[in-house]
Structure 1
Amino acid sequence: MGRSYFLDKDGIIDKNGDIYFTISNVNGPGFVYAYRKYVFTGNGLWKGYERVLRNYGVHNLVKSQQKFMFDPCQNVDFPTIMTSDIRKHLLPEQAFRHLLTNERKSFLTDYLLGLLEPVTNSRLGVTGSLLLGIEHKNSDIDILVYGCKRAEDFLTEFRGGEPDKDWLRETSINYSLEEDLVKDLYDSRIRGIFKGIKYSVHFVDETPRRYCMDVCTQKGDIRLQGEIEGECQALFYPARAKFNSHEEYELISWEGIFSSSMYGRRKAEVRGIELACSGKRVIIIGDRNVQGYIKVLH
């Protein structure tokens, strides 16, 4: 039987047929944090579906037409869907098994198997259009890896493919970042091109998180230089790591592009919003008012 709780990057179909993806392991009372990505118009490339969130990034998400809910614990609005509006919960692990066993046919199956040939991981999933069964000839392969040890084993075993130069250019434009900074964020094990097909790899914490674990107060814009110390939690979404400057902070990024820079140990300049959360000092990257960044210092 499939799991009943929600994890990051699960698929959701609401009662209107709109398609959402979860963005957290937190399940609130009567709602799930999720963004709306596809709506059915009959004219879209994805078997009649069209993308309503065309570009990623918090600055684009906050402009989307969907329900947002104020979270008094984090003191910020989050995109949500009420559990009473959910018609179907789509599981990435189940979709991956169906592709492997030919329970669902897709022209991307052979690419997926070839891409993952070096990997001995036992728990994987697929998300995006491949999870939904609405992929088209130019669709990407979006792979999920579950758990800390599996994530680190994957990065050791996976060779990656060719560089995705489009991602470098598009990320620079979308986030208004210098090209050299974007190059420091790039890792071909996490995104690239395999035999002409683009792929991305995402890592998912397999443990649900309790709602409202911390109560936070915003303190304002902050920019610091220091050292990042990130373990496997830096690979998950949102990415979490220690940041040591004149004091110790918890660094949390809601912008997925910075996760590879938060994994491991390195000197960096960080800009974001400072929060005081239940006695901890926290820096958030991905606030609607301060876009923020992580710049690796060489």
Structure 2
Amino acid sequence: MLKRCEAERGKEKLGLEVSPREGDYLESLEGIIFAVKGNIHPPTHVIAYPKYIPNGERKGYKKLSSLTDSISFLRGKFPEYLRFDPIFNDTLAEVPKTRIKRLYSPQKFLQLLLTKNNLNSVEKDSIDFAKLICESASIPLSSLGISGSVMVGLHKEDSDIDLIVYGVEECKVVYNALKKLSNEGLITPYREDQLKKLYMSRVKDTPLPFERFVKIESRKLLQGFFNQREYFIRFVKNIWEEDEKYGKKYYKYVGQIELEADVVDDSEAIFTPAKYKLGNVLVVNGTFKNSDMIREVVSFRGRFCEQAKRFERVYIKGKLEKVLSVEGEYFRVIIGGKGDLFYPKD
């Protein structure tokens, strides 16, 4: 109960003028804690999926570990939070701003922890890791935030570290710093035996064979271990750095598709949302004929960051969308739904 009270200080009231972003959490009037997805939202709603629901288990809350579970919960209990979005042309989990009781800010929570005495082990490791990254990258702590269960006071002794880095340039220098920290042994990637738990938490939505999963995940820098504790880092653009505003583009569902392609640009693979520019696209399952019009694959889920590298040939299974704007039109593949796949071919 004490940790929940401390977390209350990290909350702020939300008005219609506030723009929640990736990594923020929000609490609805019903006490449901949602994780905000992306930086682009309708004017009166926030795209967010339930992460913790009141039920008396984990300090009064139960964690929903998969997107499938989150959507099933809303369908069964709160279908009013599933809304057809006319811009994204899809039914999304969207919370009306008038139904939001609190917003949790990772940046403000980090600053709060800096003033706190007697940090517990999760809080201390989170702060120590943030300071190490900032020192190595020569950026201020204000460029980072601490998210996840610790931010909302629902962490356990073995909870992981969830860090957010804000700003395009800040993210780039941090990524280079992570390479240096890895070479120095201050952070370590997952070993095969350590990946089993992570695999079980993801396979429900992303059914990769374990051997392929190990090959992909073990080469990522945005996740691993610091001080023998798991960490996950998300790179998020500042709101003013986004080249897209809600309503600037319109998305139209075309159908499910499977394809192979070359990754020709992975410069935004480290961000959430992650984007990969594609070339030499070959449709392997589907009736879509204009394969040269498929320009990118996009995911709003952090698990697909660092998923493939430039020049790699990849397999993609996901949702094909037509993107329309005043500049013209093209097609993209969205991955992140149940059964979607994206991996380098052997």
Q: 2:225 matched to which residue of 1?
A: 193
SS of equivalent to 1:28? coil
Query: Is structure 2 residue 258 aligned with structure 1 residue 223?
Result: yes
SS at match of 1:5: coil
Partner of 1:293: 341
Q: 1:38 to 1:172 in 2, by over 3 A?
A: closer
Alignment of 1:160-179 (within 5 A): 160-163=187-190, 164-165=194-195, 166-172=197-203, 174-179=205-210
Match of 1:144 in 2: 164
Which stretch of the first structure deviates more once superposed, 70-79 or 180-189?
180-189
Corresponding residue for residue 234 of structure 1: 269
Matched, 1:132 2:152: yes
- Corresponding residue number in structure 2 for 1:75: 89
Matches within 5 A, 1:55-70: 55-57=65-67, 59-65=68-74, 66=78, 67-70=81-84
Q: AA paired with 1:40?
A: P
1:96 alignment partner, SS class:
helix
Larger mean CA deviation between 273-282 and 204-213 belongs to 204-213
Contact 2:25–2:33 (Cα < 8 Å) also in 1 = yes
Shift of 1:174: 4.9
Give deviations 1:249-295, integer Å, cap 9, x for gaps. 1211234322212454422122222221111111111346xx32112
Is the 1:185–1:257 contact (alpha carbons within 8 Å) kept by the matching residues of 2?
no
User: What is the aligned counterpart of 1:249 among 279, 292, 295?
Assistant: 295
User: What is the TM-score with the length of structure 1 in the denominator?
Assistant: 0.86
Equivalent residue letter for 2:214 = K
Bigger shift: residues 224-233 or 63-72:
224-233
Does the aligned pair in 2 maintain the 1:31–1:82 contact within 8 Å? yes
Amino acid of the residue matched to residue 74 of structure 1?
F
Native 8 Å contact 1:38 1:49 kept in 2: yes
Looking at structure 2, the residues matched to 29 and 104 of structure 1 have their Cα atoms a distance apart, in angstroms, of 40
Measured in 1, the distance between the counterparts of 2:60 and 2:98 equals: 25
Deviation larger for 69-78 or 221-230: 221-230
Kept after mapping to 1: 8 A contact 2:34/2:51? yes
Q: How many residues align?
A: 290
**Aligned partners of 1:167 and 1:286: how far apart in 2?**
16
Q: Which amino acid aligns with 2:234?
A: H
Asked whether the 8 Å contact 1:128–1:142 carries over to 2, the reply is yes
Name the structure with the higher helix share: 2
Structure 1: gaps spanning 5 or more residues:
none
1:181 maps to a residue whose letter is R
Structure 2: distance between partners of 1:124 and 1:82 = 27
Matched, 1:153 2:162: no
Alignment of 1:261-276 (within 5 A): 261-262=307-308, 264-276=310-322
CA distance in 2, matches of 1:99, 1:13: 20
Kindly, what percent of the aligned residue pairs are identical?
20
Q: Go from structure 1 to structure 2 and tell me whether the alpha carbon gap of 1:257 and 1:249 turns closer, same or farther (over 3 Å shift).
A: same
Q: Which amino acid aligns with 1:175?
A: T
> Which range is displaced more, 82-91 or 185-194?
185-194
Q: Distance in 2 between matches of 1:191 and 1:62?
A: 26
The one of 81, 84, 107 aligned to 2:98: 84
Question: Runs of 5+ in structure 2 lacking a partner?
Answer: 1-11, 282-291
CA distance, structure 2, for counterparts of residue 188 and residue 225 of structure 1:
22
Within the alignment, does 1:8 sit opposite 2:8 as a pair?
no
Which whole-Å CA distance do the structure 2 matches of 1:24 and 1:227 have between them? 26
Q: Does residue 180 of the first structure (1) align with residue 190 of the second (2)?
A: no
Contact 1:20 1:36 in 2 (8 A): yes
User: CA contact under 8 A between 1:250 and 1:280: conserved in structure 2?
Assistant: no
| One-letter code aligned to 2:96 | M
Question: Which of the pair has more CA radius of gyration?
Answer: 2
Q: CA 1:174/1:271 → structure 2, altered by over 3 Å: closer, same or farther? A: closer
**Two-structure CA RMSD over aligned residues (Å):** 2.5
Question: Which residue is 1:205 aligned to?
Answer: 237
1:176-228, CA deviations, whole angstroms, 9 ceiling, x for partnerless residues? 21123212331452222333322211111212652122222222222222211
- 1-structure distance, mates of 2:245, 2:310: 26
Please give the alpha-carbon distance, in whole angstroms, between the structure 2 residues aligned to 1:101 and 1:19: 25
Does structure 1 conserve the Cα–Cα contact (< 8 Å) formed by 2:123 and 2:150? no
Shift of 1:171: 3.1
Greater Cα offset, 83-92 or 3-12? 3-12
CA contact (8 A) 1:269 1:297 kept: yes
Q: CA deviation at 1:243?
A: 1.0
